[in-house]
Chain A
Amino acid sequence: MFGYAGKLLEVNLSDGAFKEMRISEETLRDYVGGRGLAAKILCDRLVSRWDSIDPLGPENILLILSGPLTGFFPGGRICVSGKSPQSNGMVGSTVGGEFGVELRCAGYDGIVVTGKAEKPVYLFIKDEDIELRDASHLWSKNAKETEASLNRECLKKLSERYRHFGQWREPAKLYVGPAGENMVRTAAVISKWTHAAGYGGYGAVMGSKKLKAVVAKGTGPLPEVADPDRLKKLIHIVDRNAYGNVLWRKWGTGGGGYAFGANTSSEPVRNWQDEWHDEKSFGVDQFENRLWVKQTWSDYGCPTNCMKIAMVKHGKFKGAITDNPDYELQAYLGANIGIFKPEENVYLSALADDLGLCGIQTGNVLGFAAELYQRGILTIRDLDGIQLDWGNTEAFAQLMWKIACREGIGSLLAEGTFRAAAEIGKIKGKNLLHYAVQTKGIGIGAHGVRSGRDFPSEIGYACSVQCGDHTSLTDLPIHGYGSEVWEAFNDSAVLCVFNTFGLPEKVKFEFYHAVTGETLSRSEWAGTRGMRILQIQRALLLLGGPDLKWNTKTDDDLPDRFYEPLPSGPCKGKAADKKRVRKLVLKYYEQAGWDVNGIPTTETLKALGLHDVDVALEKLRKICRE
């Protein structure tokens, strides 16, 4: 089929064996790639015993999958997936960079990693030359050290082995920091120092397999496409549109740290106790004029360059380097822990990168811990001597180290907000879930729903199959443009949604057509193919296990905090309405073809040809009947 390299590379870390995995054209048509293909592979291999699979055990499968649009659609991304150690479901977690392009140029659409290595290894791919290499010397190295070491040794190897080629350039890399190695559930898969596939916790999965990094260098072309002339025109359309988005290019999401607080009252402030602030010190001009040393930083083929590089050049936090930070990290490693100083926010973001922590999930659990401290539930003694006052940057930095190394209190918080709340609650004899701003194990993105002025709908987090993931929110009607089914397309074709802003939705489908030659109508996607992916993801999420399972009655809901009225700002007093949310959730069930317990019905699954999913769900239905 056009647009695909045509095979996946399967690596069994337990015995070091490699094999090629071919995907049928029918499967590619139905599941496209990335998130969709991940759902299909995980379902085929694990659905019958999903609930017994430990996400951090050798039975889990780590998937690194491109999509047909990777490398063609401006702005290169790659999708990382597997059983999530956060939700126990499956998340399609994408990260920007060159990895997808290198992998496809090497002749693979993706990598399937099974088993577990005995000692640290990294996977090296140069076209057909594939090797598992010792990574003992890289273990415990931070992101920047890992990047430098891998570049040095891989370039040396390429130059020695393929001297004839001339000067080699760096391969693309995905790697984990200490947090991933220590199986911290909020660990991300990192690329280019600062880029992260954060949602899902796949850094911990890599760590559990003792897989420090995956390195790829491909020397072939991107796959052949169906209509090269049309593709060139479409690339031009996307580029021209993006070039016209002047402020988007200038600031990326870096304008959000102030604006989502001051303008839309939807930014997490002190563990979401508020969502409004007017801290002008946190304005984008302050980041731009004080800290950004590079304001045009793109991933492969990207016309927008929403990435900026920030570096602190003076003072206590001198030497910290990170991207932007983008809005999510301004919010979560800033406002959410009471920090409104750009230098301190850059410092903590850089620390998250270096340790290989997801800034969103980690900022979420830090805010949770700080609120418990504020309320006297966690004491200085509980926190191993750390005074976790709002805005105390050094205290938060210390705690991040403890989380990444699973030391003392860090070991509890390394389980992520939901599990930490349950565990600390047990120790303290209190129900602390009230302070955990998450849904089904995943801390929610930095876009609140109470003010009604930001993009998430009231049920966006409650009904998403990727739970708190703000890049996969949903809404009613289920086939409408607010629905998650469209995000499933972005993550399956694997394209960057930021480069689609301002473009009609159909451009994506025209792109898909030009690349693959396949006609895909929007109704076909929303009604059948996209829905199939969502049904599988929903089923896996509900099967859950082995450490916990979700109760849809209580867990298909917003975090408690969103039912408390906003305490200040222009939207003061606004809150979500619990009865209304429940009503909408039930309506969503109905439109999604789920029963009153939120379980996909036999009818729904049969119509989509998901018989094995239906069989696997039978035990859940039985439990509900009882």
Chain B
Amino acid sequence: MLKSLTEMCCVLGDPLMTRDGPIWVARDFSKCSGCRKCEIACSLYHENRIWPEASRVRIFMLVPGTEFPHLCTQCEGYPCVEACPFKALSVNNRTAAVIVDEEKCVGCGRCIDACPGRIPHMHPAKKKILICDLCDGDPQCARTCQEGGWGALRTVLREDHPYRLYARLPQEHARNLAFKLYGEKAEEYL
């Protein structure tokens, strides 16, 4: 009971609710309108600017209509953390997010290659890697998505699910969504 109540508060984006465990940003691609409010919220929070390519969450629109958010899913095993030769990446025990130590990151990009979804990308100005840090437990992307009633992103408690499944290449997501929307016609648009 307590757990589901906590989850409800997370869904509503209640910042005062103390989390009793790691969280995850649940994603429902079919509900994404491509409004990119999540990117705007993310870059305002982290960069204090509206900066689409410096956002940790990025909406891809490889085929019109197949907009979806691409952001770290915190794979079990964390291949990006493993791959970093400079020990610049670590896992936050409380939130389960990957944290980038900007002092140590040299922007080598090994973590990009290690990620099955090639989700991390380089900060356009700083040449340091960008990975979702779950906003220290209150992901702004999910908050803004919920505010708009879109329901594409929402914060939930992390349980025992294979979250790594979401670490897929954008092309693969786009392909799935295009077929779901347009059936066989999708082939022409990819």
Does the CB pair B48–A228 fall under 8 Å? yes
Partner of B185, one of A98, A105, A309, A319: A319
Give the contact stretch, choosing among B1-9, B93-101, B118-126, B153-161: B118-126
A222 at the interface (CB under 8 A from B): yes
Query: With A144-B189, A221-B54 known to touch, is A165 a contact of B47 (CB < 8 Å)?
Result: no
Q: Which B residue's beta carbon lies closest to that of A319? A: B185
Q: How far is the CB of B48 from chain A (nearest CB, A)?
A: 7
Does the CB pair A148–B122 fall under 8 Å? no
User: Which of A102, A221, A235 has most chain B Cβ within 10 Å?
Assistant: A221
Partner of A297, one of B33, B53, B107, B185: B33
A289 at the interface (CB under 8 A from B): no
User: What are the residues of chain A within 8 A of B59 when measuring CB–CB?
Assistant: 169
Q: Which B residue's beta carbon lies closest to that of A192? A: B64
Q: CB-CB contacts of A293-335 with B at 8 A, as 1s and 0s?
A: 1101111111101000101010000010100000000000000
A170 at the interface (CB under 8 A from B): yes
A147 at the interface (CB under 8 A from B): yes
Q: How far is the CB of B66 from chain A (nearest CB, A)?
A: 9
Does the CB pair A298–B118 fall under 8 Å? no
Q: For the complex, give the distance between the alpha carbons of A101 and B65 in Å.
A: 19
Query: With A144-B188, A151-B62, A166-B109 known to touch, is A239 a contact of B148 (CB < 8 Å)?
Result: yes
Q: For the complex, give the distance between the alpha carbons of A224 and B48 in Å.
A: 10
Q: Which B residue's beta carbon lies closest to that of A231? A: B50
Does the CB pair B65–A239 fall under 8 Å? no
Q: Which B residue's beta carbon lies closest to that of A320? A: B185
Query: With A148-B189, A169-B170, A243-B147 known to touch, is A298 a contact of B34 (CB < 8 Å)?
Result: yes
Query: How many residue pairs bridge A and B at CB < 8 Å?
Result: 119
Q: How far is the CB of B42 from chain A (nearest CB, A)?
A: 13
Query: With A239-B148, A243-B148, A297-B33 known to touch, is A193 a contact of B120 (CB < 8 Å)?
Result: no
Q: Which B residue's beta carbon lies closest to that of A309? A: B65
B135 at the interface (CB under 8 A from A): no
User: What are the residues of chain A within 8 A of B37 when measuring CB–CB?
Assistant: 239, 301, 303
B91 at the interface (CB under 8 A from A): no
User: What are the residues of chain A within 8 A of B183 when measuring CB–CB?
Assistant: 313
Considering only CB atoms and an 8 Å cut-off, how many residues of chain A contact the other chain? 47
User: What are the residues of chain B within 8 A of A148 when measuring CB–CB?
Assistant: 63, 188-190
Q: How far is the CB of A178 from chain B (nearest CB, A)?
A: 17
Does the CB pair B31–A220 fall under 8 Å? no
B49 at the interface (CB under 8 A from A): yes
Q: For the complex, give the distance between the alpha carbons of A302 and B32 in Å.
A: 12
B26 at the interface (CB under 8 A from A): no
Does the CB pair B33–A165 fall under 8 Å? no
Does the CB pair B189–A167 fall under 8 Å? no
Q: For the complex, give the distance between the alpha carbons of A221 and B43 in Å.
A: 9
Partner of B62, one of A170, A193, A294, A298: A170
Q: CB-CB contacts of A525-564 with B at 8 A, as 1s and 0s?
A: 0000000000000000000000000000000000000000
Q: CB-CB contacts of A148-168 with B at 8 A, as 1s and 0s?
A: 100100000000000011110
Does the CB pair A301–B51 fall under 8 Å? no
User: What are the residues of chain B within 8 A of A293 when measuring CB–CB?
Assistant: 65, 181-182
Query: With A194-B64, A311-B181 known to touch, is A167 a contact of B188 (CB < 8 Å)?
Result: no
Does the CB pair A303–B148 fall under 8 Å? yes
User: What are the residues of chain B within 8 A of A101 when measuring CB–CB?
Assistant: 52
Query: With A169-B62, A194-B64 known to touch, is A294 a contact of B181 (CB < 8 Å)?
Result: yes
Q: Which A residue's beta carbon lies closest to that of B49? A: A221
User: What are the residues of chain B within 8 A of A302 when measuring CB–CB?
Assistant: 33, 35
A19 at the interface (CB under 8 A from B): no
User: What are the residues of chain B within 8 A of A228 when measuring CB–CB?
Assistant: 48
Q: Which A residue's beta carbon lies closest to that of B35? A: A298
Query: With A243-B147, A294-B181 known to touch, is A222 a contact of B50 (CB < 8 Å)?
Result: yes
Query: With A221-B51, A311-B181 known to touch, is A297 a contact of B65 (CB < 8 Å)?
Result: yes
B61 at the interface (CB under 8 A from A): yes
Task: Please report which residues of chain B, range 153-173, place their CB below 8 angstroms from some CB of chain A when the two chains form the complex.
Answer: 169-170
Query: With A297-B65, A311-B182 known to touch, is A219 a contact of B36 (CB < 8 Å)?
Result: no
A72 at the interface (CB under 8 A from B): yes
Q: How far is the CB of B23 from chain A (nearest CB, A)?
A: 24
Closest 10 CB pairs of A and B: A166-B121, A298-B35, A221-B51, A219-B124, A296-B33, A221-B49, A298-B33, A219-B53, A167-B118, A222-B50
Q: Which residues of A contact B (CB under 8 A)?
A: 71-72, 98, 101-102, 105, 144-145, 147-148, 151, 164-167, 169-170, 192-194, 218-222, 224, 228, 232, 235, 239, 243, 293-294, 296-303, 305, 309, 311, 313, 319, 321
Q: Can you report 26 residue pairs joining A to B where beta carbons are below 8 Å apart? A: A105-B52, A145-B188, A148-B190, A165-B122, A166-B109, A167-B121, A167-B170, A169-B58, A169-B170, A170-B60, A170-B62, A218-B52, A220-B53, A235-B40, A293-B65, A296-B32, A298-B33, A299-B34, A299-B35, A301-B37, A303-B35, A303-B148, A305-B35, A309-B64, A309-B181, A311-B182
